[in-house]
Structure 1
């Protein structure tokens, strides 16, 4: 269990690891401590604004604790990771839009009325790490289109992609107070296969990152967007550590799930 859990890019995974490992081996005290540095990184990134990226949102508990990210693909529909919502009841989840600073009261807090999790989801390393949330209202923020089977060119190795989130700025470190962003190149399937072996499935996943590491998503960024060509192409899912050389971040390949996502939008 711990081998998979330590790879999750959500704080829920980190907290669950803490429950199954000795207290001395995992520190989660920083999970709810905001990083006060204005210019700090997602890991290796910079401050961003929801006015520039209005479709990026975050998931929070009813008490306001941010634990995952998400992407607004319709006025009342948010795409996120299945491992962010597995076992949750809709009433326990909030979606926060238009808020750069987690300590502020800016933007909108929406309740969730329905959680759809891909029916084949079992574990992030198997794939299908996709979830769609239905909100209790239509948000005014601009949405982003998502990749379909016609967008294979967006997944070419070397394509510059954007990551965003409020997660930690180092593996196991403090969560960011502010929305952060960075650009990372998509890797080839063979590169990702070399890093992760049989845990990588090119049908369900895509990888992004520099061979030398240094820039990546991390805990708390799960469910957030990987964007290229003006479209959502990936959902932050898992990885070995954060920003480690030779281990790119792994994202759910949105084009594989476009039909299922559209069905949820239409429902």
Structure 2
């Protein structure tokens, strides 16, 4: 199936290419498109709970959300098959070409035991850090938070991923707002969609979306983490919203890891 499904740079590719990207010349600010896809620059000072996942070579490949001082929620497909020793979490860094912020080692990776592929659901994981990070954290959506998932709610997305499908990654943290779609709309776009494990967000005409490298990053509404960036066809394509792991159904199993 010729679709861009997983919104990440695969770990094997990341590992192989990390040294190439890390030695590339620094980009000028003028060279960076100001969008996640269709978004604007953001700051970790405003959103202190958004974090980046990197390799040991400091190459960013996914995002995550700080939900406790030493716990990060991300997508299972970001870390399935990775070892804690090969994974880092960076907090408080807007610009990937700096060393600002705190870099934490990962001591444990928990992947939902039912996870197989992102398109089958259960695309959620929890990372345990080797230290407590002094920062605001983001609460998890609970099973009682059904109103947060209403179609039309304008949810926040954040990430350092590519600014077009298959394009170049952003140097800076970017943000955008996208409306949650109805279950029927998402099911029309994706036969694999299940509202027990997923939620979709995006404009019918496309143009604003998460993309490769944004995987695992937050989908936020009502001051809570309601989703993690999971998969979709391309990025920002008309009639193909982004698909996010639905956090509320996983509240109990995630909370057990906290």
Q: Which interval holds the TM-score relative to the shorter structure?
A: over 0.9
Q: Tell whether 2:1 aligns with 1:7.
A: no
Q: Does 1:214 align with 2:207?
A: yes
CA positional deviation for 1:11: 1.1
| 1:241-256 correspondence to structure 2 within 5 Å | 241-256=234-249
Find the counterpart in structure 2 of residue 140 from structure 1: 134
Match of 2:64 among 44, 54, 70: 70
Match of 1:124 in 2: 118
Aligned residues: 253
Query: 1:180 aligned to 2:180?
Result: no
Is 1:240 aligned to 2:240, yes or no?
Answer: no
Alignment of 1:58-207 (within 5 A): 58-197=52-191, 199-207=192-200
Deviations 1:189-247, CA, capped at 9 Å, x for gaps: 000000001x1111000000000000000000000000000000000000000000000
Deviations 1:143-176 (A, max 9, x none): 0101000100000000010000000000000000
Task: Report the Cα offset of residue 134 of structure 1.
Answer: 0.1
1:222 counterpart SS class: coil
Other-structure match for 1:44:
38
1:23 is matched with which residue? Answer: none
Change (3 A) 1:236 1:159: same
TM-score with structure 1 length normalisation?
0.90
Q: Deviations over 1:33-81 (max 9, x none)?
A: 7764456100000000000000000000001000000000000000000
Give 1:12 deviation, angstroms.
1.4
| Structure 1, unaligned runs of 5 or more | 20-27
Q: Which runs of 5+ in 2 are unaligned?
A: none
Is the 8 Å Cα contact of residues 47 and 181 (structure 1) preserved in structure 2?
A: yes
Inter-partner Cα distance in structure 1 for 2:59 and 2:2: 25
Q: Is the 8 A contact 1:57 1:98 kept in 2?
A: yes
Query: Contact between 2:233 and 2:240, CA under 8 Å: does it hold in 1?
Result: yes
RMSD of equivalent CA atoms: 2.2
